[in-house]
Copies of this chain bind each other. A is one copy, B any other.
Amino acid sequence: MRMSELAERSGVSVATIKYYLREGLLAPGRKLSERRAEYDDQHVRRLHLLRVLREAGAIPVDGLKRLVDAVEDRSGSLHQMFGPACDALGGRPAAKAASADARSLADQLVENAGWSEVRPDAPERDRLAEILEVIGSHGRVPDPDRVASYLALIDQLAALELGSVDTDQDRESMMEQMVIGQVAYGQLLLSLRRLAQEHHSARLFDD
């Protein structure tokens, strides 16, 4: 297909497609002549990925670049690429680093949850520590049983989400699905959770 049709099918404007081509986020089409190129379904899929990341994740361009590099990298297993991809997705860096106590609590939670495959140097451990520090200034110590139930629920959620990835596809499609799941389903989760909390607040706190 030509670029105009690619724009139509992907819902991404021609100007943005040209920008992604310049930035190396989208592979060039097959050249038909000096000024014409042919695009295919792989281009549509990649544009969908970029669109979801932009609309649902507000990921800056350097994050997109790291993500696309991870999606295209074939040097390791799908899992080995997913870690770096998640690193690129993990939100804003903190204004200041978390304390050693908060970091050690973060590591403890990961261990208690049984998530032994998380890289010891995964940046997400620091982000978790920062969030724990913000919450911690509130001063409440949560009940350990509740924490355990909470971790177990999140474990089930993550297993369900990743288990939904269609494995009958090529590697790049699977990676794209995993990344879209991270971002878009993260937003979906927060939205559904707000609705669920409104419901439960009625049950618990209506007079």
Binding site for B on A (CB under 8 A): 11, 48, 51-52, 55-56, 77-80, 82-83, 86, 89-91, 109-110, 113-119, 122, 124-125, 127-128, 131-132, 134-135, 137-138, 140, 142-143, 146, 149-151, 153-166, 174, 177-178, 180-182, 184-207
Contact = CB atoms under 8 A, between A and B. Distances in A.
Contact of A109 (B113, B159, B192, B204): B192
A23 to B, nearest CB: 21
A118 to B, nearest CB: 5
A100 to B, nearest CB: 18
A122 B158 contact: no
Given A122-B198, A205-B78, A51 B191 contact: no
B201 A78 contact: yes
Contact of A86 (B185, B194, B206): B194
B82 A154 contact: no
B188 A135 contact: yes
Contact of A189 (B77, B185, B189): B189
